[in-house]
A and B are shown apart, each in its own frame.
Chain A
Amino acid sequence: DQQVKQNSPSLSVQEGRISILNCDYTNSMFDYFLWYKKYPAEGPTFLISISSIKDKNEDGRFTVFLNKSAKHLSLHIVPSQPGDSAVYFCAASALKTSYDKVIFGPGTSLSVIP
Protein backbone atom coordinates (compact mmCIF):
# COMPACT_ATOMS: atom_id res chain seq x y z
CA ASP A 1 0.00 0.00 0.00
CA GLN A 2 1.36 3.41 -0.95
CA GLN A 3 2.43 5.52 2.00
CA VAL A 4 2.34 8.73 -0.04
CA LYS A 5 -0.63 9.27 -2.29
CA GLN A 6 -1.37 11.80 -4.96
CA ASN A 7 -4.87 10.98 -6.02
CA SER A 8 -5.02 13.28 -9.02
CA PRO A 9 -2.88 11.90 -11.85
CA SER A 10 -3.38 15.11 -13.82
CA LEU A 11 -4.55 18.69 -13.44
CA SER A 12 -5.23 21.47 -15.95
CA VAL A 13 -5.22 25.12 -14.94
CA GLN A 14 -5.53 28.37 -16.85
CA GLU A 15 -2.50 30.63 -16.89
CA GLY A 16 -2.65 33.19 -14.08
CA ARG A 17 -4.93 31.10 -11.91
CA ILE A 18 -4.02 29.08 -8.83
CA SER A 19 -2.81 25.49 -9.11
CA ILE A 20 -3.42 23.28 -6.09
CA LEU A 21 -1.71 19.92 -5.96
CA ASN A 22 -2.68 17.59 -3.16
CA CYS A 23 -0.83 14.87 -1.31
CA ASP A 24 -1.90 12.49 1.47
CA TYR A 25 0.28 10.26 3.59
CA THR A 26 -0.44 7.37 5.89
CA ASN A 27 2.68 7.06 8.05
CA SER A 28 2.40 9.24 11.15
CA MET A 29 6.18 9.01 11.61
CA PHE A 30 6.79 11.20 8.57
CA ASP A 31 8.07 14.57 9.72
CA TYR A 32 9.61 16.12 6.63
CA PHE A 33 7.93 16.66 3.28
CA LEU A 34 9.26 17.72 -0.08
CA TRP A 35 7.95 18.61 -3.49
CA TYR A 36 9.90 17.86 -6.64
CA LYS A 37 9.16 18.99 -10.16
CA LYS A 38 10.02 16.94 -13.23
CA TYR A 39 10.07 17.95 -16.86
CA PRO A 40 10.03 15.25 -19.57
CA ALA A 41 13.46 13.77 -20.28
CA GLU A 42 14.95 15.45 -17.19
CA GLY A 43 15.53 14.33 -13.63
CA PRO A 44 13.35 15.71 -10.83
CA THR A 45 14.43 18.98 -9.23
CA PHE A 46 13.75 20.02 -5.68
CA LEU A 47 11.06 22.67 -5.37
CA ILE A 48 10.11 23.28 -1.76
CA SER A 49 9.98 21.46 1.56
CA ILE A 50 8.30 21.70 4.93
CA SER A 51 9.04 20.33 8.35
CA SER A 52 6.26 18.96 10.53
CA ILE A 53 6.88 21.72 13.07
CA LYS A 54 5.44 24.17 10.55
CA ASP A 55 2.11 24.34 8.81
CA LYS A 56 3.15 26.60 5.96
CA ASN A 57 6.24 27.35 3.93
CA GLU A 58 6.42 29.89 1.16
CA ASP A 59 8.93 30.47 -1.60
CA GLY A 60 7.92 33.01 -4.21
CA ARG A 61 4.94 31.71 -6.15
CA PHE A 62 5.07 28.36 -4.35
CA THR A 63 3.49 27.67 -0.97
CA VAL A 64 3.21 24.33 0.77
CA PHE A 65 0.60 23.78 3.46
CA LEU A 66 0.72 20.94 5.95
CA ASN A 67 -2.24 19.61 7.93
CA LYS A 68 -0.77 17.02 10.27
CA SER A 69 -4.04 15.95 11.80
CA ALA A 70 -5.42 15.13 8.36
CA LYS A 71 -2.08 13.78 7.13
CA HIS A 72 -2.45 16.03 4.14
CA LEU A 73 -0.29 18.55 2.37
CA SER A 74 -0.84 20.72 -0.63
CA LEU A 75 1.27 22.76 -3.00
CA HIS A 76 -0.16 26.05 -4.20
CA ILE A 77 1.25 27.80 -7.26
CA VAL A 78 0.09 31.39 -7.71
CA PRO A 79 -0.05 32.65 -10.38
CA SER A 80 0.39 29.58 -12.57
CA GLN A 81 2.60 29.96 -15.63
CA PRO A 82 2.98 27.76 -18.72
CA GLY A 83 6.52 26.91 -17.61
CA ASP A 84 5.04 25.27 -14.51
CA SER A 85 3.68 22.48 -16.70
CA ALA A 86 5.45 19.40 -15.36
CA VAL A 87 4.98 16.35 -13.17
CA TYR A 88 5.02 17.17 -9.47
CA PHE A 89 6.07 14.55 -6.95
CA CYS A 90 5.25 14.76 -3.28
CA ALA A 91 7.77 13.02 -1.00
CA ALA A 92 8.02 12.28 2.70
CA SER A 93 10.59 11.07 5.16
CA ALA A 94 10.99 10.39 8.87
CA LEU A 95 14.00 12.39 9.98
CA LYS A 96 13.74 11.31 13.59
CA THR A 97 13.71 7.62 12.80
CA SER A 98 14.89 6.05 9.61
CA TYR A 99 17.57 8.01 7.86
CA ASP A 100 17.45 5.94 4.80
CA LYS A 101 14.31 6.56 2.86
CA VAL A 102 12.46 9.25 1.08
CA ILE A 103 9.09 7.90 -0.05
CA PHE A 104 7.70 9.42 -3.23
CA GLY A 105 4.13 9.66 -4.37
CA PRO A 106 3.05 8.66 -7.90
CA GLY A 107 3.08 12.24 -9.18
CA THR A 108 0.56 14.71 -10.60
CA SER A 109 0.95 16.01 -14.12
CA LEU A 110 0.14 19.73 -14.21
CA SER A 111 -0.76 21.46 -17.47
CA VAL A 112 -0.96 25.24 -17.43
CA ILE A 113 -2.94 26.45 -20.41
CA PRO A 114 -1.96 29.82 -21.90
Chain B
Amino acid sequence: DVKVTQSSRYLVKRTGEKVFLECVQDMDHENMFWYRQDPGLGLRLIYFSYDVKMKEKGDIPEGYSVSREKKERFSLILESASTNQTSMYLCASSGAGVMNTEAFFGQGTRLTVV
Protein backbone atom coordinates (compact mmCIF):
# COMPACT_ATOMS: atom_id res chain seq x y z
CA ASP B 1 0.00 0.00 0.00
CA VAL B 2 1.42 3.36 -1.04
CA LYS B 3 2.26 5.73 1.70
CA VAL B 4 3.14 9.38 2.16
CA THR B 5 3.75 10.24 5.78
CA GLN B 6 3.94 13.71 7.27
CA SER B 7 5.73 13.95 10.59
CA SER B 8 3.07 15.92 12.47
CA ARG B 9 -0.70 16.17 12.27
CA TYR B 10 -0.89 19.37 14.31
CA LEU B 11 1.69 22.02 15.11
CA VAL B 12 1.52 25.27 17.02
CA LYS B 13 4.45 27.64 16.59
CA ARG B 14 5.24 31.19 17.58
CA THR B 15 5.75 34.05 15.17
CA GLY B 16 9.38 34.26 14.08
CA GLU B 17 10.20 30.62 14.79
CA LYS B 18 11.87 28.46 12.18
CA VAL B 19 9.54 25.57 11.38
CA PHE B 20 10.34 22.25 9.72
CA LEU B 21 7.65 20.09 8.13
CA GLU B 22 8.85 16.65 7.15
CA CYS B 23 7.45 14.30 4.53
CA VAL B 24 8.51 10.75 3.69
CA GLN B 25 7.24 8.52 0.89
CA ASP B 26 7.86 4.81 0.48
CA MET B 27 6.96 4.46 -3.21
CA ASP B 28 10.37 5.34 -4.69
CA HIS B 29 8.70 8.31 -6.43
CA GLU B 30 10.86 10.88 -8.18
CA ASN B 31 8.50 13.81 -7.74
CA MET B 32 7.48 15.38 -4.47
CA PHE B 33 5.33 18.42 -3.75
CA TRP B 34 4.30 20.74 -0.97
CA TYR B 35 0.88 22.40 -1.09
CA ARG B 36 -1.08 24.50 1.31
CA GLN B 37 -4.84 24.32 1.55
CA ASP B 38 -6.88 27.34 2.54
CA PRO B 39 -10.67 27.77 2.48
CA GLY B 40 -11.91 29.05 -0.86
CA LEU B 41 -8.47 28.80 -2.44
CA GLY B 42 -8.02 25.09 -2.95
CA LEU B 43 -4.54 23.59 -2.95
CA ARG B 44 -1.74 25.96 -3.90
CA LEU B 45 1.69 24.67 -4.85
CA ILE B 46 4.54 26.01 -2.72
CA TYR B 47 7.53 24.02 -4.00
CA PHE B 48 8.17 20.78 -5.80
CA SER B 49 11.13 18.55 -6.52
CA TYR B 50 11.66 16.14 -9.38
CA ASP B 51 14.91 14.66 -8.16
CA VAL B 52 17.23 14.57 -5.19
CA LYS B 53 18.72 18.00 -4.46
CA MET B 54 16.50 19.54 -7.17
CA LYS B 55 13.76 22.01 -6.35
CA GLU B 56 11.44 24.30 -8.23
CA LYS B 57 9.24 27.13 -7.02
CA GLY B 58 5.53 26.73 -7.22
CA ASP B 59 2.94 29.47 -7.14
CA ILE B 60 3.51 30.75 -3.59
CA PRO B 61 7.15 30.12 -2.55
CA GLU B 62 7.65 33.34 -0.60
CA GLY B 63 8.54 32.71 3.02
CA TYR B 64 9.30 29.04 2.41
CA SER B 65 12.25 26.91 1.42
CA VAL B 66 12.65 23.18 0.85
CA SER B 67 15.24 20.48 1.15
CA ARG B 68 15.53 17.13 -0.60
CA GLU B 69 18.69 15.34 0.43
CA LYS B 70 17.26 11.85 -0.06
CA LYS B 71 14.79 10.57 -2.60
CA GLU B 72 12.20 9.56 -0.03
CA ARG B 73 12.25 12.73 2.06
CA PHE B 74 11.08 16.25 1.23
CA SER B 75 11.18 18.94 3.90
CA LEU B 76 9.37 22.26 3.94
CA ILE B 77 10.98 25.04 5.97
CA LEU B 78 9.30 28.19 7.17
CA GLU B 79 12.27 30.46 7.71
CA SER B 80 10.46 32.82 10.09
CA ALA B 81 6.90 31.78 10.74
CA SER B 82 4.18 34.39 10.40
CA THR B 83 0.49 34.28 11.25
CA ASN B 84 -0.47 34.29 7.55
CA GLN B 85 1.26 30.93 7.24
CA THR B 86 -1.36 29.35 9.46
CA SER B 87 -2.77 26.71 7.15
CA MET B 88 -3.11 23.04 6.28
CA TYR B 89 0.06 21.79 4.60
CA LEU B 90 -0.08 18.78 2.31
CA CYS B 91 2.81 16.79 0.92
CA ALA B 92 2.40 14.64 -2.19
CA SER B 93 4.48 12.42 -4.43
CA SER B 94 4.17 11.00 -7.93
CA GLY B 95 6.20 8.78 -10.21
CA ALA B 96 8.49 9.88 -13.04
CA GLY B 97 6.74 10.63 -16.29
CA VAL B 98 3.50 11.25 -14.46
CA MET B 99 4.30 14.60 -12.92
CA ASN B 100 0.97 15.93 -13.93
CA THR B 101 -1.13 12.91 -13.21
CA GLU B 102 -1.99 10.97 -10.13
CA ALA B 103 -0.32 12.14 -6.96
CA PHE B 104 -0.48 10.49 -3.55
CA PHE B 105 -0.99 12.80 -0.62
CA GLY B 106 -0.02 12.63 3.02
CA GLN B 107 -2.58 13.18 5.75
CA GLY B 108 -1.70 16.84 6.16
CA THR B 109 -0.20 19.02 8.89
CA ARG B 110 -2.38 21.70 10.38
CA LEU B 111 -0.01 24.49 11.38
CA THR B 112 -1.09 27.34 13.63
CA VAL B 113 1.25 30.30 14.04
CA VAL B 114 0.49 32.42 17.09
Residues of A within 8 A of B (CB): 2, 4, 6, 9, 32, 34, 36, 41-46, 49, 89, 91, 93-95, 99-102, 104-107
A-B pairs under 8 A by CB, number = 60
Q: Is the CB of B102 within 8 A of A34?
A: yes
Residues of B within 8 A of A (CB): 4, 9, 35, 40-45, 48, 50, 56, 58-59, 90, 92, 99-108
Per DSSP, are chain A's interface residues mostly helix, strand or loop, or mixed?
loop
Q: Is the CB of B100 within 8 A of A99?
A: yes
Q: Is the CB of A106 within 8 A of B42?
A: yes
CA–CA, A6 and B41, complex, Å: 10
Given contact pairs A100-B99, A102-B45, A43 touches B105 in the complex (Cβ within 8 A): yes
Look across to chain A and name the residue whose beta carbon is closest to the beta carbon of B57: A100
Taking A36-B105, A43-B108 as known contacts, 8 extra A-B pairs with beta carbons closer than 8 A to each other, sorted by chain A number, are A2-B42, A43-B92, A43-B105, A46-B102, A101-B58, A104-B42, A104-B43, A106-B40
**What are the residues of chain A within 8 A of B105 when measuring CB–CB?**
36, 43-45
